Amino acid sequence: MTTASTPADVARAEKARATDGAPRTGSSLGYLRHAAGKVGGALVSLLAVLVTSFFLFRIIPGDPVKAMTHGVPTSAEQLATLRRQFGLDLPLWQQFTDYCAKALSGDLGTSFQFRAPVGDLIAEKLPATLLLTGVAVVIYSALGLWLGTRSAWRHGRLGDKLNTGIALTLWSVPSFWLGLILIIVFSVGMGPIPGLFPTGGMESGTGETGFAYALDVAHHLVLPVVTLVAVGYAQTLLVMRSSLLDEMGGDYLTTARAKGLRDDVVRRRHAVPNALLPTVTMIFINLGHVAAGSILVETVFSWPGLGGLFYQALSVPDLPLVQGLFVVFAGAMILMNLIADLLYPLLDPRVGR
Amino acid sequence: MSLLEVRDLKVTYGSGAAAVPAVRGVDLTLEPGTKLGVAGESGCGKSTLALALLRLLPASARIEGEILLDGEDVLAMSWGRLRAVRWAGASIVFQGAMHSLNAVHRIGDQIAEPLLVHGRATPAAARKRVGELLEHVGLPAARAAAYPHELSGGQRQRVMIAMALACDPRLIVADEPTTALDVMIQAQILRLIERLVAEQSISLLMISHDLAVLADTCDRLAVMYAGRVVEEGPARAVYEAAEHPYGRALSSAFPRIGDLASRRAPRGLPGDPPDPADLPGGCTFHPRCPVAVDACAEQDQELREAGAGRRAACVHVGSTS
């Protein structure tokens, strides 16, 4: 740096200072490095999940073969044959290496109870779950963001108190109870309210196609989605509210107001983007839960999704199926976290550069 | 007509028993093209004053008095009129530009924002103007694409200044514009502000705790203590020979270059600034005043004439001491 003593020197130093000593600007390379690190981390996590899923479910007490033959007279010989078929007679380490070799080639094994490939079983039920929880998460995230923003901006007022009060109350409601109440009121019909929505399932099974089928599915979707949204939006609301409250003392908001911006522009353009990061993290965690679905709500509404399948698999325990489901659930979480990590630098330039 | 005239401005935070008076009756006048410095310790109400000028204080603050900007009372303006006056009539260079810039927007967009909001330029013209403004404050136009965290503290302050100039305001309020910067950069930023203000004959209201900086930059000085102006006058005169004992303490708190005596023993001021919620009676400065007399604890002191264009609020002023 130049040592400036006269005004002219200072002026020259001004210019010099402006061009040198500035931290890096090239950002695309920084982003690639950030992305590569996150993808690598996700792959490591996935491997860890594969290993964990094998051992985790072997700690669960219960003999799958005995459970499957429950109530049916079976000889010790037949049991041994079944064990051999499922590979349960082999030493644990050998079962593990077999499992790993297959899993890495994409084969999650064969279900004990359904005698069908685990991959096929999951693929069959996955769309229903993705549809239900996907729609619910999108709706309650949007609702939570919107209400959380309004609540924080007018914090302490009546609207804010009502808003957070209602959200907290609904959050404390058990989802299966709310589901049942909704069925009683809106499916069975109560008083002047006719039965507006079906009690359960995903379709009427009357062979509609195309648009009519989509409408039918949407009709079935309403109550379970309402249940999930009502119970779930409080979380997004509260996180958005508190992170926006943290930002509201920010000096940059005073700058924005001083510029003559309207209050809603200050909120939308300046405050919300800065408050978004914690909320986005949570939205993606919720999206990660999409595959796992909601066992309770799927059960109440007889939704043909993964939740029910997981319940059936656990009760045996159908080891390959629980393992496979575990890997899929964890994989979805890892994938969503990865997407969130890749998104952060776009939302906040200070991340990952 | 004066560009800015503040008449008996009072700002109170909270209400009832918890009311805290931050500004207690301040009068200031700023003529077009001149530079006024407001000095004082932290907590004396000088930043509250700056924010009050454009009604940027939180809703819990009650403002009384008059703030005439170009003859129009800011406190009586409708919201729409106020928004139109903000930044276009008077802009602010905030302290510590790290937090005063929005971290998630490119600085070019932030500089262009007031241009677009006030309808001063089309998006294309605004981009061009942003480049000019950046070059004007000594930054390459290409830096418009940078984010605040990619700039040094001095560069961020330059961005803040470029932003303040965007709508060609007649008044710039600079609230501690150099406080967070190291001495070298501080000098550069001061020279930059001086140059730009002189070039475009903008009026400047500069707020700082550093009397030396203000004396160096401004034409006139006002010294604030406990929410009031206790001394005002031509900058050099106030800095070199303050009439009010607080002004004297403030100017001797910074050792002067070349003055060995003050360098060896920089004189400070004993005691803490008064708590605005619990101000001492009489002259608010009397508990810390080295020349206080009995009357000071009883009588509040008003500003009184103290020579050519000077006023001070001290019992000794005008007396034959």
pLDDT of residue B296: 86
- Measure CA of the first residue to CA of the last residue in chain B; give whole Å: 37
Judged by CB atoms closer than 8 Å, whether chains meet at A23 and B92 is answered as: no
Q: What type of residue is B289?
A: C
Strands B72-73 and B90-93: what pairing? unpaired
Determine the average pLDDT of the residues in B6-17: 89
Average pLDDT over residues B33-46: 89
For residue B86, the chain A residues in CB contact (below 8 A) are 257-260
Q: Name the residue in chain B with its Cα closest to that of A27.
A: B146
Cis ω before A117 (30° cut-off from 0): no
For A60-72, the pLDDT digits (tens) are: 777 777 777 777 7
Q: Label residue B319 by pLDDT band (50, 70, 90).
A: low
The tens digit of pLDDT for each residue in A265-301 reads: 999 999 999 998 888 888 888 888 877 767 888 888 9
Q: What is the mean pLDDT of residues A291-314?
A: 84
* C-beta atoms of A4 and B94 within 8 A: no
- What φ, ψ does residue A2 adopt, rounded to 5°? -75, 150
Contact list, A10 vs chain B (CB under 8 Å): 187-188, 191
Contact (CB<8Å) B87/A255? no
CB contact under 8 A, B99 and A250: yes
Average pLDDT over residues B151-164: 91
Residue B140: pLDDT over 90: yes
Where residue B23 falls (left for φ over 0; alpha for ψ -120 to 50; beta otherwise) is beta
**Pairing state of beta strands B304-305 and B20-30?**
unpaired
Which tens digit of pLDDT belongs to each residue from B258-270? 666 655 555 667 7
What is the structure's pLDDT at B263? 56
The residue of B77, B87, B102, B120 whose CB has the most chain A CBs within 10 angstroms, and thus the best one to mutate to test that interface, is: B102
Long-range residue pairs from B269-275, CB within 8 A, at least 24 positions apart, any chain: B273/B41, B273/B42, B273/B43, B273/B44, B273/B226, B274/B226
Helices H / strands E in chain B, number of each: 11, 12
In chain A, domain spans? 122-347
Secondary structure of B123-152 in HEC code, one letter for each residue: HHHHHHHHHHHHHHCCCCHHHHHCCHHHCC
* Contact criterion met (CB < 8 Å) for A24 and B150: yes
Note the pLDDT of residue A288: 84
The pTM assigned to this predicted structure is 0.79
State residue A21's pLDDT score: 40
- pLDDT band, very low/low/confident/very high, at A22 (cuts 50, 70, 90): very low
Maximum mean pLDDT: which of A71-80, A235-244, A316-325, B297-306: A235-244
Phi, psi of B66 (to 5 degrees): -135, 140
Q: Assign B74 to helix, strand or coil.
A: helix
Question: DSSP string covering A55-114, please?
Answer: HHHHHS-S-HHHHHTTTS---HHHHHHHHHHHTTTS-HHHHHHHHHHHHHTT---B-TTT
Whether A250 shows a pLDDT value over 90: the answer reads: no
User: Residue written as tokens 């971290």?
Assistant: B103
Confidence of residue A236 (pLDDT cuts 50, 70, 90): very high
pLDDT in tens, B64-121: 999 999 999 999 999 999 999 999 999 999 876 668 999 999 999 999 999 999 999 9
CB B190 within 8 A of CB B178: yes
List, in sequence order, every beta strand (DSSP E) within chain B. Answer: 4-13, 20-30, 35-39, 61-69, 72-73, 90-93, 171-175, 203-208, 220-225, 228-234, 304-305, 311-312
The owner of tokens 């899993």 is A103
Band of pLDDT at residue A11, cut at 50, 70 and 90: very low
Helix (H) or strand (E) run with residue B194 in it: helix B183-199
Residue A151, pLDDT score: 94
The answer to whether B188 contacts A14, with C-beta atoms less than 8 Å apart, is yes
Residues 6+ apart with CB under 8 A from B297: B280, B281, B282, B283, B286
- Tell me the nearest-neighbour CA distance from A156 into chain B, angstroms: 13
> Are the C-beta atoms of residues B45 and B273 closer than 8 Å to each other?
no
Tell whether A10 is within 8 A of chain B (Cβ): yes
For residues A230 and B248, give the distance between their C-alpha atoms in angstroms, rounded to a whole number. 66
Exposed / middle / buried, residue B146 (Cβ in 10 Å: 0-12, 13-18, 19+) = buried
Q: Which residues of B touch A275 (CB under 8 A)?
A: none
- Whether B166 has a pLDDT exceeding 70, the answer reads yes
Which CATH class, in words, describes the domain spanning B4-89+171-267? alpha beta
| Residue A205 reports pLDDT greater than 70 | yes
Question: What is the CB neighbour count within 10 angstroms for residue B239?
Answer: 24
pLDDT band at A344 (very low <50, low <70, confident <90, very high): confident
For residue A177, pLDDT over 80 is answered with yes
Query: Which pLDDT does position B74 carry in this prediction?
Result: 93
Instruction: Provide the chain A residues 54-93 that lie in CB contact (below 8 A) with chain B.
Output: none
Return the CATH superfamily for domain A122-347: MetI-like (1.10.3720.10)
Q: What is the pLDDT of residue A3?
A: 39
Q: What is the ipTM of this complex?
A: 0.87
Supply φ then ψ for residue A262, to 5 degrees.
-70, 155
CB contact under 8 A, B101 and A4: no
Closest residue in chain B to residue A154, using alpha carbons only: B59
User: Does residue B294 surpass a pLDDT of 50?
Assistant: yes
Min Cα distance B25 → chain A (Å) is 23
Q: Indicate yes or no: CB of A259 within 8 angstroms of CB of B149.
A: no
Strand ranges in B31-154 using DSSP code E only, listed in sequence order: 35-39, 61-69, 72-73, 90-93
Confidence (pLDDT) at B259: 64
Domains of chain B by residue range: 4-89+171-267, 97-166
SS3 content of chain B, % helix, strand, coil (to 5): 40, 20, 40
